Amino acid sequence: MKIEQIYTGCLAQGAYYIVSSGEAAIIDPLREIQPYLERAQKDCVNIKYIFETHFHADFVSGHLDLSKSTNAPIVYGPTANPEFNAIIAEDGEEFKLGNITIKVLHTPGHTLESSCFLLKDETGKDYALFSGDTLFLGDVGRPDLAQKSASMTQDELAGLLYESLTSKIMPLSDDIIVYPAHGAGSACGKNMMKETVDTLGNQKKVNYALNQPNKELFIKSVTDGLLPPPSYFGMNVAMNKKGYESFDTILHNAMKPLTIEEFKTVAEITDAILLDTRGASDFAKGFVPRSINIGINGDFAPWVGSLIKDVKQPILLITELGKEKETIMRLSRVGFDNVIGYLAGSFENWKKSENEFDTVNRILATQFAAELDVKKDFVIDVRKENEYRAEHIDNAFSKPLDQINNWFIGLNKEKPFYLHCAGGYRSMIAASILKARGIHSFKEIEGGFKAISETEIPKTDFVCQSKLQGL
């Protein structure tokens, strides 16, 4: 028996490849299926089953393409109703894989169809739990994502989750290995550990949700402090449930190099977003006007999903040379399939052709410290509210990046201000969005709060109650 966790950091997502005696199963595969096919070919095994723990909200699964390529059936837990052929297993149903067994545990709460898969080894002993979004390390799945489709409140779903955990998971042996679908950084939970594998016994000790004394306090603890889910979550659920175009088709349609003139023409006649995925430092030095920077070497897919409201939005790409295919693939992971081409030769070609370009006024933290008057100057902090509460510059305004489409409206385009995040990734996203909306009177801080914290700029650890007045 072999179990391999295939972890994708930018999505904080774990897929699983399981092999026993010439047969393999994949749990919660990502959109691009080639890595699974290559593993199976290398191990000389046949992929027998594709297990899905639920209809995922934060990424588009590769279940359909993988099933077409292997003829392996897709297996869901009870109450799932996909619009394609699949096995809808009963609670407690078992599936043989070589010399091992995978048992379905229906665990509604995160969603109504959510299920965990309990692996029994060659001796029949409970060995591992693939817990999906029901149980994370340090947390449990948020119970607010399925409210509309379930016609239930988040408190009612949280109550279901409590019953699932106490009746199906907690009675299992402490030595069982827990393999969750997500880790720290995923928006599917709020308190996940950085580790991606643990024992159930340790989770019973350290997981706050598993240590609530009763159902009422469990509901309160897991629903407290939930941030609104990213806007693309519902669209990804629909794609996972209804189906989607093959990734090969998406890639074929998107891999279209465009000359500068073609790029300009397509940009003019469509409502395409110009998405520049280069690093923040390169983007600051020069970019195609009106393009939005979301660097591929960061939390790329989640920020695309949070800031671009429609997965069907046409996208024109500006990438690092050679990064076009990777960018298209990573967009497809979160359902953004409508890439209509990319700038051939990247931005350097644009610049060499003497086309107009824009820049971001990016300064070092030391220059910021020399210039800043904390009593007079405006500073916008685009980190999350909890980061801001932990520590921030005196009199800085908390304006989280994921809310930028609301708060930028209140800015005075003529009044100067400073802009920063934790390290420079998010503030450059914000800078590009502001510039695309005609706001240019700011300086963005290279290195973000990490660099700022090394200066003598006054800082505080309580929430500034000031309002964004005069900006």
9: left (phi over 0), alpha (psi -120 to 50) or beta: alpha
Pairing of strands 115-120, 100-106: antiparallel
At 464 the pLDDT is 43
**Which residues are CB-contacts of 213 (< 8 A; sequence separation ≥ 6)?**
none
Cα–Cα distance, 78 to 340 (Å, whole number): 39
**For residue 56, pLDDT beyond 90:** yes
Do 245-352 and 362-460 agree at the fold level?
A: yes
pLDDT band at 302 (very low <50, low <70, confident <90, very high): confident
What are the CA-CA distances from residue 22 to residues 19, 333, 348, 405 (Å)?
7, 29, 50, 52
Q: Do residues 378 and 455 make contact, with C-beta atoms less than 8 angstroms apart?
A: no
User: Which of 8-12, 66-70, 95-99 is the least confident region?
Assistant: 8-12
Domain boundaries, the chain: 2-234, 245-352, 362-460
Is the confidence at residue 69, as pLDDT, over 70?
A: yes
pLDDT, mean of residues 249-268: 96
% of the chain surpassing 90 pLDDT? 88
Q: Check residue 462 and give its pLDDT.
A: 55
Given a contact cutoff of 8 angstroms between Cβ atoms, the answer to whether 144 and 100 are in contact is no
pLDDT tens profile 395-407: 999 999 999 999 9
pLDDT tens profile 304-330: 998 998 999 999 999 999 999 999 999
Q: pLDDT at residue 13 above 50?
A: yes
CATH class of domain segment(s) 2-234:
alpha beta
Q: Which CATH number fits domain 362-460: 3.40.50.300, 3.40.250.10, 2.40.50.140, 3.30.1130.10?
A: 3.40.250.10
Q: What confidence score (pLDDT) does residue 146 get?
A: 81
CATH of 245-352, one of 3.90.79.10, 3.30.540.10, 3.30.70.580, 3.40.250.10: 3.40.250.10
303: enclosing H helix or E strand: helix 300-307
* Averaged pLDDT, 209-228: 94
- pLDDT confidence band for 252 (50 / 70 / 90): very high
Give me the chain's average pLDDT, please.
94
Question: Does the reported pTM lie above 0.75?
Answer: yes
Q: For residue 467, what pLDDT band results from cuts at 50, 70 and 90? A: very low
Tell me: pLDDT of 266 over 60.
yes
List, in sequence order, every residue forming a beta bridge with 418; answer none if it has no partner.
379, 443
For residues 328 and 323, what is the distance between their CA atoms, to the nearest angstrom? 9
Task: Tell me: pLDDT of 463 over 80.
Answer: no
Q: How far apart are CA 17 and CA 36, in angstroms?
A: 7
